[in-house]
Structure 1
C-alpha cells in the first residue's frame, strides 16, 4: 500500500514501532521517521493500519500532541465500532478529522491496488482523502464515523460464513463418494461461484494453509461481529456458529490461513479428511 502511494507520486513519511519494518520503504523514496511525532507533525493525511483497535488507540493517544489542526487521520485497521467512535472523539478534541476505512482484498489486493475500502466519516473529510484512497483501491463512503467498521464486519461475516460452508461442502463431497476437486469444478459458474470458492477452495484442496488472512484475525472479527450484533439488539445465529468454528482451532492454528476452517470441520468429524496431501502452514 505504501509503495502504491509512492508510485502515484505522493510524498510519504513512514513510521513503525519496529523501525526495521519500515526501512525497506526508503529504497522506494519514503522518508523513515525516527519518532511518531516526526511522522505526523507536518502531515495533512495520516494513515494507520495496525493489528487491533486497542493498539490504534495507544498510537493515536501518543501522537495527539504532534498532530496539526485540520489534519485527517484515516484508520485502515479492523477495529470495534466503539473503538472507532472513541478515536474520533480523541481527535476531535485537538481539531483533527477522522475516517475509519478498513479494507478487504488481502495481500493480493493491497499489492494490486484493488482493495475494497469501506469508509465512515463526514462527506467533507471523505472527499479530501478520496484521491489518496483511490490509489489503494475502491473507496466507498458507507456512513458516519464507525460505519466503515460496520461494513467491514459485514464483509467478514460473509467471508467467515462462506469459508465454513465451502469447507463443509468439500468434506461432504469426499465422505459421500464424490471427488471434491471435480465437485468444485462442476459448481463453478453457477450460483455457488465466488472468489472464495475460487481461491480458498483451491487452498483447501491443496491443504495449503499458508496465510493470507489468518485464523486469529478472522476469530477476532467474528468476536467483533457478535459484539456489534449485541449492541444493535439483534441475534445472528449463523454468525454465532461460525464464531465457534474459528475459536475451535484458534489455539492450535492461530497463524494459519482462513481456509483452515476446513480443519475445524474435519475436527468435528474424526476419521474424515479431504484429500491425501500433507497440511502446509
Structure 2
C-alpha cells in the first residue's frame, strides 16, 4: 500500500487555518507552522502536528502549501528561514500566497535548482470558500507538477492550470481587478438606490439571477447591507495586489482606466484608515457621509 502523502502548511491565518482543517478531515497527515504560533490551534485541534519553525515543518514533507501575507514574507520564509534547504529533493512546494508573477517565477527557478518542484497557486473565494472547499485555485507551473498536487488542491476547491510559472499569479491579479471594479460599482448602486428612496436590499434581490448576478453581489452585497466589515480580505492586501497589476500594465504599455480608477478608490480608502477593513467596507467611503447609512 502506498504511504499517505505528507503535507505541511506554512501560514494558518484567515485562509490557511480553514484549509488545514479541510485537509485533516480528508485524512491527510499534516504539519502546520505559523509565525504567531497561537493561530495554529484550530488546525492542531483537528489533528495536525505543530512545528516550532518553518524549516521543521517542511522536513520530510511531500507537498508544502505556503499561504503568507505577501512576496517579501514568502521570500524570507523560503530562503532566509531555512525552508528551501530543509525541503527534500522531489518535494512539491505550492505557493498559495498572492505575490507578483515575477517573484513566483524567480522562486520557481531557485527551487528547481535544489530539485524541488514549484507551483504558484493563489486563490479566490475568501475564508468562506476555504471552509467550504469551493476556492478558485489559479495555478502556474509544469503539467507534471500540477498532476502531483491536483487531488490535494481539489480538497480545497477547483484548481485550474493556467499556464507556465507565474501564470497563476497573473490570473489572481485579473480576479482582483474584476472584484475591485464590481465592488466599487456595487457600493455606488446601493448609495444611488438609497438616495432615490429605494430599499437597497430589495434592489439587490431584484438583481439576483439577472445579468448583474455575481459572487460580489451575493457575498459582498450581503456584507454591505449588514454592515459587516470584519475582514475576510483586508483592504491593504487588495491594494497591494492592485498596485502590482498596475505596475505590470504599465510595463506592457497598457492603459486600464477602470482598473486604475478602482485602484485609486481602494488606495484612498486605505490611506483614510480602512486598511484593516474588509473590501466591502469601500461602501463607507462611497457614502461619504452624504446619505443615510444603509
Output the TM-score relative to the length of structure 2: 0.89
Structure 1 unaligned residues grouped into runs of 5+: 276-281
| Corresponding residue number in structure 2 for 1:82 | 102
Q: Runs (4+) of structure 1 moved beyond 3 Å?
A: none
Superposed counterparts of 1:38-77, under 5 Å: 38-61=56-79, 62=81, 63-77=83-97
Which residue among 21, 35, 43 is the counterpart of 1:3?
A: 21
Output the TM-score relative to the length of structure 1: 0.93
Residue 210 of structure 2: SS of its match in structure 1?
coil
Residues 86-95 or 225-234, more deviating? 225-234
Structure 2 unaligned residues grouped into runs of 5+: 1-18
User: For residues 164 and 107 of structure 2, what CA distance do their matches in structure 1 show?
Assistant: 13
User: For residues 52 and 246 of structure 1, what CA distance do their matches in structure 2 show?
Assistant: 18
Superposed counterparts of 1:153-172, under 5 Å: 153-172=173-192
1:234-276 residue CA offsets vs partner (Å, 9 max, x unmatched): 1111100000100111031111111111122223xx522443x
Q: Does 1:29 align with 2:47?
A: yes
| Corresponding residue number in structure 1 for 2:15 | none
1:72-123 residue CA offsets vs partner (Å, 9 max, x unmatched): 1100001111111121122122111100000111111101111110000000
Q: Does 1:119 align with 2:139?
A: yes
Q: Does 1:201 align with 2:221?
A: yes
User: For residues 141 and 96 of structure 2, what CA distance do their matches in structure 1 show?
Assistant: 13
| Corresponding residue number in structure 2 for 1:231 | 251
Q: Is contact 1:205-1:274 (8 Å) kept?
A: no
Superposed counterparts of 1:125-140, under 5 Å: 125-140=145-160
Residue 142 of structure 1: SS of its match in structure 2?
strand
Q: Is contact 1:245-1:265 (8 Å) kept?
A: no
Q: Does 1:253 align with 2:274?
A: yes
1:194-220 residue CA offsets vs partner (Å, 9 max, x unmatched): 121122112222222122112112111
1:111-148 residue CA offsets vs partner (Å, 9 max, x unmatched): 11111100000000000111110111110000001100
CA RMSD of superposed structures (Å): 1.4
